């Protein structure tokens, strides 16, 4: 463990600020998801005081007090920046223990003990790791700016999930791993390369090339070097496929998890690659720092972040190129999407997975989803002259000097003009995919990239398709033209209940899109602009609704689809991210929340 980093984090102002942030997101989600119902006092200014009553270890009464409001955006609970207070034994002071809060209010929570124990660990690890990351950020000589290149922003925008309280738990990483592999610290990584016997591997790729040609282009002269290593061992390179492994995954899982395969030479260690990579904010996706035009590489990590395992199941690896090719065909055949909106699709061009299905079930369980990779097109080369890029969640980033990253753009273009451009380029292609094609994209956070010229939005790039879209066969524009996907094995829902591509109910497709894009990306931007610039949430959602109605007027022939995928419904269903961490498995946990777009339903569309 890096003791100096730990000591620095513990003594920093960021230690307190991060704890306060986690407290806010924790309490907001507990109230919002209906896990607890605190005593609530309403005030004339629209704010509310919340009181959580509990007992300490000695059985004495304690009360936690905080102030917030219920926002227009999906009825979200939004606490003020004032610290949470703890009242006990006639005294009141700032609550400084997240674990004490959860334990002392355990009767209110009603959580399963095992689940609560795991949740406590995730909360504590988030506190530690984000404090270390923020201490590092504030130690930099200059804050990030609107002119910072995209690859740098993938590391500099380090807020994590804006709603989930365990937004940086990274269970499996110790503090040294956090420093060595966390994107915030911009480490240079070298991938470990293996050769897997083709009979024990599964792969897929775009139909426009062969796997060998792609890997040769990606690896350069290393491709020949790897082949020579196999020949020196008396092996036939034509019988193997090359696969990269994240160095942490190699050390923690793969090196000791495939000993029989190494002994039999069905897997062969080729060694460390030459190219240097840097982790993007999603951690397991890596950018090539040596040759930026080469593909991004997504590698499984046997760790948990934001309460989700970060392996790569075989069916998702195999679906990557299949779904990318299908989306590419939709894009090529749609002049509006291709020529007018000029949407960029960062295709997942190839995926390789170790074929673990042939193993004994006990052995398969240990290596499920731990060895494989997905290659995704780089954004480099996709930008027009004068165009720059920013992860969409960076629009809500506050610099270390307290200024919004977007401040120069807002000053240059004017707040409403700039926002109108953001909404136009972000909303239009996604609702076109939904209405015209029946495809819902999971375009949350960095899965959407905003392209701009001097801060004025021009178009978007979309990514992460292998497990990040949904459709209903019956509601595709052409049900006979659907991707031939791999389906999850029977045991997969135990690891990830949300890993599916096809659904039957169009309402679920619509809510999936609403949850990812409007609830997360748009909702956070609405709240951010109100807090930083005083733009009312009402005005934000009025402008957003206007973009949707403008699209519907442009395509009146899709009126039936507007009703099928009703974006103006009174409520939508969103995931209960905290509730599923506190209670035993019971399927996907969702709750109905008010839809801010419903305020602007008119007779001109749905």
Q: What is the pLDDT of residues 516-545, one digit of tens each?
A: 999 999 999 999 999 999 999 999 999 999
What CA–CA distance (Å, rounded) separates 140 from 357? Answer: 48
Residue 155 lies in a domain: no
CA distance 375 to 295: 6
425 and 367 co-located in one domain = no
Q: Give the domain-ending residue among 122, 151, 181.
A: 181
Which pLDDT belongs to residue 321? 98
Nearest C-alpha neighbor of 494 from the set 580, 375, 587: 587
Could you say which of 324, 348, 376 is where a domain stops? 376
Residues 353 and 321 in one domain: yes
pTM given for the model: 0.96
Check whether residue 449 and residue 436 sit in a common domain. Answer: yes
Q: Is 363 exposed, middle or buried (0-12, 13-18, 19+ CB in 10 A)?
A: middle
3-state helix vs strand vs coil in the chain, percent to 5: 45, 20, 35
What 3-state class would DSSP assign to 67?
A: strand
- Cα 596 from Cα 74, distance rounded (Å): 6
Task: Tell me which residue range forms the domain holding 589.
Answer: 388-600
Identify the pLDDT of residue 7.
80
How many C-beta neighbours within 10 Å does residue 415 have? 17
- The verdict on 395 and 342 lying in the same domain is no
- Do residues 547 and 563 share a domain? yes
Predicted pLDDT at 444 = 92
Domain boundary among 323, 354, 376: 376
Same domain, 468 and 533: yes
Nearest to 221 by CA among 176, 289, 180, 274: 274
Task: Based on the fold, state whether residues 404 and 362 are members of the same structural domain.
Answer: no
Whether 541 and 417 share a structural domain? yes
Secondary structure (DSSP) of 317-350:
HHHHHHHHHHHHHHHHT-HIIIIIS--EE--EEE
Helix (H) or strand (E) holding 456: strand 456-462
pLDDT at position 134, please? 95
- Look at the chain and report how many structural domains it folds into: 3
CATH number at residue 420: 1.10.510.40
Q: What's the pLDDT at 499?
A: 53
Same domain, 355 and 442: no
In a domain, 156, yes or no: no
Q: Kindly state whether residues 395 and 369 are assigned to the same domain.
A: no
What integer best gives the mean pLDDT of the chain? Answer: 95
CATH code: domain of residue 94 = 3.30.310.280
**What is the token pair recorded at 465?**
């398709």
In contact, 535 and 419? CB cutoff 8 Å: yes
Distances (CA, A) of 438 to 330, 474, 503, 604: 11, 9, 11, 21
Q: Is 571 helix (H, G, I), strand (E, B) or coil?
A: strand
Whether residue 581 is found in the same domain as residue 535: yes
Please check whether residue 425 lies inside any domain of the structure.
yes
Which residues in the chain come in under a pLDDT of 50?
605
* 300 and 437 together in one domain: no
H runs (alpha helix) in 139-265:
150-156, 175-181, 211-219, 222-232, 247-249, 255-257, 259-264
């Amino acid at each position: 463990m890096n003791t100096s980093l730990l000591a620095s984090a513990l003594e920093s102002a960021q230690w307190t600020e991060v704890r306060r942030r986690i407290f806010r997101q924790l309490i907001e989600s507990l109230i919002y998801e209906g896990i607890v119902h605190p005593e609530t006092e309403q005030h004339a200014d629209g704010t509310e005081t919340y009181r959580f009553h509990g007992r300490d270890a000695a059985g004495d009464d304690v009360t936690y007090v905080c102030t917030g409001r219920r926002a227009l955006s999906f009825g979200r609970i939004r606490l003020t920046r004032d610290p949470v207070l703890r009242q006990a034994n006639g005294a009141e002071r700032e609550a400084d223990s997240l674990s004490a809060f959860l334990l002392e209010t355990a009767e209110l929570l009603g959580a399963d003990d095992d689940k609560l124990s795991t949740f406590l660990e995730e909360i504590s690890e988030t506190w530690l790791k984000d404090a270390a990351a923020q201490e590092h950020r504030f130690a930099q000589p200059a804050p990030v700016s609107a002119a910072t290149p995209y690859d740098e922003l993938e590391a500099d925008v380090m807020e994590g999930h804006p709603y989930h309280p365990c937004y940086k738990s990274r269970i499996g990483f110790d503090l040294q791993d956090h420093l060595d592999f966390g994107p915030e610290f911009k480490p240079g990584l070298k991938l470990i390369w293996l050769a897997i016997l083709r009979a024990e591997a599964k792969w897929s790729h775009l139909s426009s090339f062969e796997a060998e040609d792609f890997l040769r282009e990606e690896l350069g002269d290393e491709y020949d070097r790897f082949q020579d290593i196999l020949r020196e061992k008396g092996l036939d390179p034509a019988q193997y496929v090359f696969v990269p492994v994240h160095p942490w995954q190699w050390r923690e899982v793969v090196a000791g998890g495939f000993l029989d395969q190494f002994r039999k030479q069905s897997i062969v260690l080729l060694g460390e690659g030459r190219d240097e990579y840097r982790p993007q904010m999603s951690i397991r996706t890596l950018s090539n720092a040596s040759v930026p035009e080469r593909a991004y590489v997504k590698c499984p990590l046997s760790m948990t972040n934001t309460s989700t395992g970060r392996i790569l199941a075989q069916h998702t690896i195999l679906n990557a190129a299949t779904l990318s090719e299908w989306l590419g065909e939709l894009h090529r055949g749609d002049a509006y999407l291709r020529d007018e909106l000029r949407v960029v699709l960062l295709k997942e061009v190839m995926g390789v997975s170790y074929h673990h299905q042939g193993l004994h079930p006990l052995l398969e369980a240990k290596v499920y989803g731990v060895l494989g990779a997905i290659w995704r097109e780089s954004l480099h080369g996709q930008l027009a002259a004068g165009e720059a890029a920013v992860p969409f969640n960076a629009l809500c980033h506050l610099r270390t000097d307290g200024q919004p990253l977007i401040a120069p753009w807002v000053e240059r273009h004017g707040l409403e003009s700039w926002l109108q451009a953001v909404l136009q380029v972000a909303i239009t292609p996604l609702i076109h995919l939904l209405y015209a094609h029946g495809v819902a994209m999971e375009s949350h956070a960095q899965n959407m990239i905003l392209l701009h010229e001097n801060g004025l939005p021009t178009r978007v790039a979309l990514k992460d398709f292998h497990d990040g879209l949904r459709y209903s066969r019956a509601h595709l524009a052409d049900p006979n033209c659907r991707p031939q996907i791999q389906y999850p094995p029977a045991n997969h829902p135990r690891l990830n209940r949300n890993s599916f591509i096809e659904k039957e109910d169009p309402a679920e497709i619509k809510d999936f899109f609403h949850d990812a894009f409007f609830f997360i990306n748009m909702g956070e931007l609405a709240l951010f602009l109100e807090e930083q610039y005083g733009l009312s949430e009402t005005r934000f959602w009025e402008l957003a609704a206007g973009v949707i109605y403008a699209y519907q007027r442009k395509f009146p022939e899709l009126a039936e689809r507007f009703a099928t995928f009703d974006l103006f419904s009174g409520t939508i269903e969103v995931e209960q991210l905290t509730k599923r961490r506190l209670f035993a498995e019971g399927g996907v946990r969702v709750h109905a929340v008010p839809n801010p777009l419903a305020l602007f339903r008119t007779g001109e569309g749905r």
